[in-house]
Amino acid sequence: MQLNTNKLTLDSSIDICDLILNEIGAYVFLKDRDRKYVYVNEITRKLFGRELEQIIGSDDSEYFDLNELSELIKNDTRVLDYGETVIEEEANTIKTTGKVRVYQSIKKPVYNNNNEIIGLLGISTDITDIYNLKEDLKKQAATDSLTGLYNRRFFLETAERIFSESGRYDNPLALIIMDIDLFKSINDSYGHPVGDVVLQFISKHISGFIRKEDVFARIGGEEFAFLLPNTHITSAQDLAEKIRISVSEQTISGEWNGTIKPKLSLGISHRRETDSSFDAVYIRADKALYTAKHKGRNRVCVNC
């Protein structure tokens, strides 16, 4: 008997189950209790870049980056040793291509007639494009579009979490709030596009002073904030002074007449044991910034 379609021809010699598994567009595989492959469908075989006979009896160490194997082994253990059904996103680097792909994987135990777990059935769907889109959207939601820094919303949400961790483990935490002096006059004299150039220049310049664990954000028009975990107030003051001096030595020029020599005012505070929320730290740093401006700008003030 033959069944003709626009894609393929079937006859009685073809294993219908294998045909279906090869056409569903997902990666299907079976492993035994030793985590060795006993079956993969055609799309999985192509991913691994080997013939089926070479794959049978092999394990994940031959196909995936060693740094990611621990997560794969952990999920397989949950299935094979505890009988769980695991549904997880798994990011894997394929050895044959070196590319990182993200999969939505479902792994279920396979039982024999005695209700003993004898293996694992896995079905993985490549969701890399969807995952990357989600990550891009999350980044956009957390980022200031002009400077590429974190935005105010992300900064405040993150600050509350770090503040809580700081109090729990009794670690120091410092905050610097910074404002570009006389920024309105820059906009009035040169126009907002030049003002944007100044914001971008200062953001990029100051980023060189920031550690990986610090949170640097644009929280207003010309206002920025630095949250400094595990940092004492004296160290924060030293950093603020270095930033102030470095920026004051810069000259910004472009397709406009004249040059701009930016100046900064900075206010500093830190977490006190009596603070119940990050707001208390923020309010003191903001008052210190106001003091710096009131005293003539281009200076650092501290409100402990």
Q: Which CATH number is 186's domain given? A: 3.30.70.270
Range of 241's domain? 143-302
Q: The CATH number of the domain where 55 resides is what?
A: 3.30.450.20
The answer to whether residues 97 and 211 belong to one domain is no
Do residues 221 and 183 share a domain?
yes
| Nearest C-alpha neighbor of 252 from the set 213, 205, 299, 292 | 205
Can you tell me the distance from the alpha carbon of 25 to that of 31, in angstroms, rounded to the nearest whole number? 19
Same domain, 76 and 147: no
84 in active site:
no
Of 108, 132, 156, the position where a domain reaches its end is: 132
Phi-psi domain of 297 (left: phi exceeds 0; alpha: psi -120 through 50; beta: other): left
Catalytic residue among 84, 116, 222, 241: 222
Integer CA distances (angstroms), 298 to 102, 203, 244, 267, in order: 49, 17, 7, 11
Is the pLDDT at 182 greater than 60? The verdict is yes
How many Cα atoms occupy the beta-carbon half-sphere of 98 within 13 Å?
Answer: 0
Q: Is 212 within the bounds of a domain?
A: yes
- Please tell me the least confidently modeled range out of 13-17, 209-213, 255-259, 271-275: 13-17
Please tell me the total count of domains within the chain: 2
> How confident is the model at residue 66, as a pLDDT?
72
The whole-angstrom separation of Cα 178 and Cα 292 is 10
Final residue before a domain boundary, out of 80, 97, 132: 132
| 173 lies in some domain | yes
**In the listed set 84, 104, 132, which residue is the last one of a domain according to the structure?**
132
280-291 pLDDT tens trace:
999 999 999 999
Is 181 among the domain residues? yes
For the stretch 97-126, pLDDT in tens is 788 889 999 999 999 999 999 999 999 999
Residue 138 falls within a domain, yes or no? no
Q: For 37-80, write each residue's pLDDT tens digit.
A: 999 999 999 999 999 999 999 999 999 887 778 888 999 999 99
pLDDT bucket at 2, cuts 50 / 70 / 90: very low
**What contacts 283, CB < 8 A, 6 or more positions away?**
none
218 part of a folded domain: yes
Is pLDDT of 141 > 50?
yes
Using CA atoms, how far apart are residues 251 and 278, in angstroms rounded to an integer?
A: 35
Pair 128, 234 in one domain: no
Query: Quick check: is 81 in a domain?
Result: yes
* pLDDT reported for residue 9: 42
Q: Looking at the structure, tell me whether residues 148 and 262 fall in a common domain.
A: yes
Whether residue 199 lies inside any domain: the answer is: yes
Same domain flag for 151 and 78: no
- Single-letter code of the amino acid located at 103: Y
Tokens describing residue 88 = 């997880």
**290 and 162, same structural domain?**
yes
User: Same domain for 220 and 290?
Assistant: yes
What is the reported pLDDT for 170? 94
Q: Quickly tell me which residue has 């406009």 as its tokens.
A: 256
Query: What's this model's pTM, rounded to 2 decimal places?
Result: 0.66
* pLDDT(148) > 90: yes
Structural domain includes residue 137: no
